[in-house]
Amino acid sequence: METNFIHPSLILIIGALLLPLVKEPFRKIYLCVVPLVTFLNVLYLNWHPGTYGVVTFMGDWTLTFGRVDNLSMIFAFIMSLMAIIGTVYGLHVKDDVQHIAAWFYVSGSLGVIYSGDYLVLFLFWELMAFASTFLIWFNKDAGSLAAGYRYLLVHTFGGVLLLLGFVLRYQTTGDLSFVQLDEQNTQLFTWLIMAGLMLNAAVPPLHSWLPDAYSKATVTGAVFMCAFTTKTAVYTLARAFAGFEILIVLGVIMAIYGIIYAMMENDIRRLLGWEIVSQVGYMVAGVGIGTALAINGTCAHAFAHILYKGLLFMAAGAVIHATGKSKFTDLGGLYRKMPNTLFFLVIGGISVSAFPFFSGFVSKSMIITASFESHLMVAGFLLTMVSIGTFLVAGLRLPYLIFFGDDRCSQETKDAAVDPPWNMHMAMAAAAFLCLLIGSYLPFLYNMLPYQEATYHPYSGYHLSETLQILAFTAVAFIFLKDKLGARPTISLDLDWFYRLGGRGFLWLATNPIQWLDTAWGTAYRVVGLYTLMTTAKFSAWFDWHGIDGVVDGSAGCVKAIGQRVALVFQRGHIQQTIYYSITFAAILLISYVWL
pLDDT grade for 2, boundaries at 50, 70 and 90: very low
Nearest to 118 by CA among 182, 195, 185, 65: 65
Report how far residue 64's alpha carbon sits from residue 356's, in angstroms, rounded to the nearest whole number: 41
Q: Phi and psi for 512 in degrees, rounded to 5?
A: -115, -85
Q: Phi and psi for 68 in degrees, rounded to 5?
A: -110, 105
Mean per-residue pLDDT, 469-474: 92
Q: Report CA-CA distances (Å) from 61 to 7, 120, 127, 583.
A: 20, 11, 21, 92
Which has the minimum average pLDDT: 156-165, 318-327, 332-341, 559-568?
559-568
Q: Is the pLDDT of residue 147 over 50?
A: yes
Residue 2 contacts by C-beta under 8 Å, 6 or more apart in sequence? 52, 53, 54
Under DSSP, the state recorded for 19 is G
Q: Is the pLDDT of residue 588 over 80?
A: no
Kindly report, residue by residue over 150-205, the tens digit of the pLDDT: 999 999 999 999 999 999 999 999 889 999 999 888 999 999 999 999 999 999 88
Nearest to 389 by CA among 481, 503, 451, 498: 481
Q: Phi and psi for 182 in degrees, rounded to 5?
A: -95, 115
Contact criterion met (CB below 8 Å) for 66 and 5: yes
- In terms of Cβ atoms closer than 10 Å to its own Cβ (0-12, 13-18, 19+), residue 303 is buried
Q: Is the pLDDT of residue 541 over 90?
A: no
Q: Is the pLDDT of residue 552 over 60?
A: no
Tell me what pLDDT residue 564 has. Answer: 60
Nearest to 354 by CA among 313, 315, 395: 395
Q: Is the pLDDT of residue 123 over 80?
A: yes
Q: What percent of the chain has pLDDT over 90?
A: 68
Contact criterion met (CB below 8 Å) for 10 and 110: no
pLDDT grade for 26, boundaries at 50, 70 and 90: very high
Tell me what pLDDT residue 587 has. Answer: 64
Tell me what pLDDT residue 96 has. Answer: 94
Q: Is the pLDDT of residue 371 over 80?
A: yes
Q: What percent of the chain has pLDDT over 70?
A: 89
Kindly report, residue by residue over 386-443, the tens digit of the pLDDT: 999 999 999 999 999 999 877 787 777 777 888 999 999 999 999 999 999 999 999 9
Query: Dihedral (C-alpha) 368, 372, 377, 378: value to the nearest 10 degrees?
Result: -20
Q: Is the pLDDT of residue 4 over 50?
A: yes
- Torsion sign across C-alpha atoms 339, 343, 348, 350: positive
Q: Is the pLDDT of residue 337 over 80?
A: yes
Mean per-residue pLDDT, 104-127: 96
- Looking at every residue in the chain, the average pLDDT score rounds to 88
Q: Report CA-CA distances (Å) from 12 to 70, 169, 225, 425.
A: 23, 32, 16, 24
Tell me what pLDDT residue 591 has. Answer: 64
Contact criterion met (CB below 8 Å) for 223 and 310: yes
Q: 481 or 29, which is more confident?
A: 29
Contact criterion met (CB below 8 Å) for 350 and 415: no
**b/e string for 384-419 if b means 16 or more Cβ within 10 A?**
bebbbbbbbbbbbbbbbbbbebeebbeeebeeebeb
Contact criterion met (CB below 8 Å) for 329 and 266: yes
Radius of gyration of the chain (CA): 37
Q: Phi and psi for 176 in degrees, rounded to 5?
A: -115, 15
Tell me what pLDDT residue 142 has. Answer: 81
Q: 501 or 176, which is more confident?
A: 176
Q: Is the pLDDT of residue 457 over 50?
A: yes
Q: Is the pLDDT of residue 1 over 50?
A: no
Tell me what pLDDT residue 305 has. Answer: 96
Q: Phi and psi for 87 in degrees, rounded to 5?
A: -70, -40
Under DSSP, the state recorded for 177 is B
Tell me what pLDDT residue 502 has. Answer: 73
Mean per-residue pLDDT, 84-88: 97
First to last CA, the chain: 93
Q: Is the pLDDT of residue 558 over 80?
A: no
Mean per-residue pLDDT, 544-568: 59
Tell me what pLDDT residue 578 has. Answer: 58
CB atoms within 10 A of CB 524: 11
For residue 52, give the 3-state DSSP assignment: strand
Cis peptide, bond prior to residue 339, ω within 30 of zero = no
Which has the minimum average pLDDT: 94-108, 122-136, 249-263, 489-503?
489-503
For residue 51, give the 3-state DSSP assignment: strand
Residue 241 contacts by C-beta under 8 Å, 6 or more apart in sequence? 180, 181, 183, 194, 197, 247, 287, 288
Kindly report, residue by residue over 308-329, the tens digit of the pLDDT: 999 999 999 999 999 988 999 8
Tell me what pLDDT residue 488 has. Answer: 82
pLDDT grade for 257, boundaries at 50, 70 and 90: very high
Does an H or E element contain 100, and which? helix 96-114
Helix 144-173 / helix 188-200 crossing angle, nearest 10 deg: 150
Kindly report, residue by residue over 216-255, the tens digit of the pLDDT: 999 999 999 999 999 999 999 999 999 999 999 999 999 9
Q: Is the pLDDT of residue 505 over 90?
A: no
Q: 481 or 596, which is more confident?
A: 481
Mean per-residue pLDDT, 5-28: 94
State how far Cα 553 lies from the chain centre: 75
